[in-house]
Amino acid sequence: EYMLDRLHSVFLRYKEKNLNIDDIRQTPMFERLEIKDVPPRMIDWVGLDLFLKIQTLALRTAEMHVALGSEFEVTAFEPAHYNGDHEVWLKNRLLYQFQNRLNTVENNLHKLEGLALELAQEFLGKKNLIRKRFVAFDWTKLKGERIRVHGDYHLGQILVNDDDFYILDFEGEPESTIRDRKVKQPPLKDVAGLFRSFHYAIYSSIFNHFEDYELPQEELFKAGEVLYSYIIGVFLGVYIRKIKEANLNLGYQQERIFLLEYSLLEKAVYELGYELNSRPRWAVIPLKGISNIINHQPWQK
């Protein structure tokens, strides 16, 4: 509710200030940003306080991972390198889930329209590329470490009090087995879960208050994507710095981007099944997330 309320105010200001999102310099996806890197027009629109809150949340997230990854006496929590067993477990799980989602999209195309239908057709048309992305996980190229993670990290698991954040509910993903919840994962999987939650919050504001904004939905979506890229950039600026200070090994820069995109793709595909079965109009959110990832050029190089 906290983030939804803040974002509602952000979009109201977008209308009141009569902004044109094309006038605001965009930032590359996953670029680490400090507040000083955010354009003044962006600060004027969104408000400095929201970006400061994002920095605080990034710090608390990093502190959680440092705590989870700093135990060297208890084997269950000791950081571990990637290996072949983890790769096989991951690919089997994701390829099964992906095939399930393909079937779900094909069976529910008739429920979609507009941008959601366009993105669903892109999803089906690029199914081999997406499958290739999942298969591309190669543990021999990864130098970072895995740790026990939160496992179900999103805005709903974070309590806000006195301008600070408290992280709750470490039970892991509800649909996963206890055994799978104990598997050590890249910390960036939690970060990706939170980023998907930011994405959802932005689109939820647009869907729930569309009539209040009195602007074309496509323009609001575009503004939301620019806002999203700055939120995650400011988050990563603090998060990566804190993790490095604690000597927790996330891997090199290209590896971090790979793991972020891999985890974001996994999460968005997971979300797609729920949305198509429960509220097809909202399927545009995970579909847009998937499209962002498969069309992100740096990943493809």
Which residue type, as a one-letter code, is found at position 62?
A: A
Whole-angstrom CA distances from 21 to 17, 55, 220 are 11, 23, 9
Question: Tens of pLDDT along 122-157?
Answer: 999 999 999 999 999 999 999 999 999 999 999 999
In this structure, are residues 45 and 14 in contact, taking their beta carbons and an 8 Å threshold?
yes
In this structure, are residues 282 and 111 in contact, taking their beta carbons and an 8 Å threshold?
no
- At which residue do the structure tokens 């939804």 appear? 4
What share of residues in the chain are helix, strand, coil (percent, to 5)?
Answer: 70, 5, 25
In this structure, are residues 293 and 299 in contact, taking their beta carbons and an 8 Å threshold?
yes
Distance CA 289, CA 210 (A): 20
Q: Which residues pair with 41 in a beta bridge?
A: none
Domain range annotation of the chain: 1-18+26-82+145-164+199-250, 83-141+252-295
Backbone angles phi, psi at 116, to 5 degrees: -60, -45
Question: Tens of pLDDT along 11-29?
Answer: 999 999 989 999 999 999 9
Per-residue pLDDT of the chain (301 residues; tens, 9 = 90+): 899 999 999 999 999 998 999 999 999 999 999 999 999 999 999 999 999 999 999 999 999 999 999 877 788 899 999 999 999 999 999 999 999 999 999 999 999 999 999 999 999 999 999 999 999 999 999 999 999 999 999 999 999 998 899 999 999 888 788 989 999 999 999 999 999 999 999 999 999 999 999 999 999 999 999 999 999 999 999 999 999 999 999 999 999 999 999 999 999 999 999 999 999 989 999 999 999 999 874 333 2
> Could you give the count of Cα atoms lying within 13 Å of 97 in the half-sphere of its Cβ?
20
Distance CA 52, CA 178 (A): 36
